[in-house]
Amino acid sequence: MSLPPIAVFDLDGTLAETAGDLVGTLNVLLGREGLPPLPLEEARDMIGAGAKALIQRGFTAAGEPLSAERLERLFGEFLEHYGAHLCDHSHLYEGLVEALDSLQSDGFLLAVCTNKVEEHAVDLLDRLGIGDRFAAICGRATFPYFKPDPRHITSTIERAKGDPARSVMVGDSRSDVDAAKAAGIPVVAVTFGYTDTPVQDLGPDRVISHFSELPGAVEALVPGARVRAAE
């Protein structure tokens, strides 16, 4: 029996709007270090490569580059504070649940491949009410590598027991697009996520501005998946 087709999703800026809680935690750290907070709109596009990158980018923007030792300390503080404030402001994007319903009805497995800490990703998705939909939720340290390393995606597909030949990545940033391309997997980019470069300039296979467009985009990129999934 063949493996089912699979759609792999990034989390922050793709499944959910999480900037309020992530930037809020960054601003707590900046305040502790005697630095002014960053406006949400300014810091929003610093998200996407994981908490360490967010801290580095945030402190650099505040005029305070970090040593490796100081970054590690702040990273620990970030995880502690953010873990207690995962879902103060975060919410799913409009149309997501209906898009997931459509993909699952067509026989697709769903998985998450995120540079967020796995424990936080699982907790957040459970709080948002969709955690049980995913065959695998893989974070930054789930494997010895993370996006843009393509093995982060291919290992997620393997863990979920999906068919790599009938797979698609859905993300919002350069790390998602680059990892999918390197893995030889088609990628759909959303326009409403976190990126300092317009996603259409990153070379994804499809660009969508609302989740109502996702089922059609996936069907175009994974031809025949619906038919074979039903066999």
Q: Are 30 and 132 in contact (CB under 8 A)?
A: no
Q: Is 10 a catalytic residue?
A: yes
d(CA 198, CA 193): 10
Residue 46: name the closest of 62, 33, 35, 34 by CA.
62
Enclosing H/E stretch for 207: strand 206-208
C-alpha–C-alpha distance, residues 134 and 15, integer Å: 12
Report the amino acid identity of residue 82. Y
d(CA 92, CA 231): 32
Dig out the tokens for 175 from the structure. Answer: 């790390």
Peptide bond into 148 cis (omega under 30): yes
Label the pairing between strands 91-92 and 16-17.
Answer: antiparallel
CA triplet 219, 216, 152: central angle to 5 degrees?
60
Structural contact between residues 90 and 17, judged by C-beta atoms closer than 8 angstroms: yes
Catalytic residue among 10, 163, 172, 176: 10
The residues annotated with a catalytic role in the active site are: 10
